[in-house]
Amino acid sequence: MLPEGVNKVYLRSDTAGYEHELLRYCAKGQSERFGKIEFAIGVDVTQEFKEAVAEVEESEWKPVWKEIRGEKTKTKMEWADVCFVPTAISRSKKDPDYVFGHA
């Protein structure tokens, strides 16, 4: 339904969009028109994910910056790469890599 001039799309969703087939579709580039679709989708925070977040070294956390009226401003949020793969989407070494974050 997007106009012809649109060549790249991104997907952003809350936790309602956290479906493994959707993640795989976007990450593997299965869209005939757009190929790989970059995405950011919320996920319920499980105990396993909390444990993985707790293992991240303090020095690995980086501030989230936001541009406000043309100025780069540090927020109270931080981000880090978290080593975590849910069992439900880790079927094969050929499956795409996912990056899970925690803010």
The tokens describing 60, both together, are 């690995």
What's the pLDDT score for residue 46?
A: 86
What's the pLDDT score for residue 42?
A: 85
- Measured distance CA(96)–CA(44) in Å, rounded: 20
Residue 37 near residue 11 (C-beta atoms within 8 A): yes
Mean pLDDT in order along the chain per 10 residues (103 residues): 92 91 89 92 86 94 93 92 73 65 53
Q: Which helix (H) or strand (E) holds 39?
A: strand 38-41
Residue type present at position 28: K
* Helix (H/G/I), strand (E/B), else coil: 92: coil
Residue ranges of the domains in the chain? Answer: 1-44
What's the pLDDT score for residue 70?
A: 93
What's the pLDDT score for residue 11?
A: 95
How many residues can be counted in the chain? 103
